[in-house]
Every structure is written in structure tokens, then in C-alpha cells.
Copies of this chain bind each other. A is one copy, B any other.
């Protein structure tokens, strides 16, 4: 495995967890007034596109990474709708 491969897999693992701090913060604070609903709607649609792309290439790294981010985006959409006002 090359240095670029290792960096790519590490970066991908971190990417999949990017939304986690926001999910935890919103879950605890029960407040999402300042959070953009549109951001997570765009992210969710975008992750679905990446999952289809990953499936077309039969690339499980792309599929799994984006499935995690999609799940977190959907959770944030629910939290925003619940705590957004």
C-alpha cells in the first residue's frame, strides 16, 4: 500500500465522521435554530448520488463512507425539523 493509499483511506475515514460532532451537539442541546436544513438536504441527496456512483464502480469504500454520511445527514434533518424552531 502506497503512502497515497494510506492517506486516502485515512482521509476517507475522517470524512465519514465529519457530521458526527454536529449530530452530538444538536442531540445534546436540543436546539438547531442556527443549523442550515438546506445543507443537510443537499448533503443527503449528494451522498445518495455517491452511493449509486460507488455501486456503478463496485467500490465498497465509496459506498460505505457515503452510507455513513447519509445516515448522519438524515439524522440531522430529523433533528433540525424537531429542534429547528
A1 interface hit (Cβ, 8 Å): no
Q: What is the minimal beta-carbon distance from A71 to any residue of chain B, in angstroms?
A: 15
Whether the pair A39, B53 counts as a contact (CB closer than 8 A) is no
Q: Using C-beta atoms within 8 Å of the partner chain, give the interface range for chain A.
A: 35 or more
How long is the Cα–Cα vector from A8 to B52 in the complex, in angstroms? 9
How long is the Cα–Cα vector from A46 to B18 in the complex, in angstroms? 8
Chain A interface residues toward B at CB < 8 A: 3-4, 7-8, 10-11, 14-15, 17-22, 24-26, 29, 31-36, 38-39, 42-43, 45-46, 49-50, 52-53, 56-57
The 6 tightest CB contacts between A and B, nearest first, are: A21-B38, A34-B34, A22-B36, A11-B49, A4-B56, A21-B36
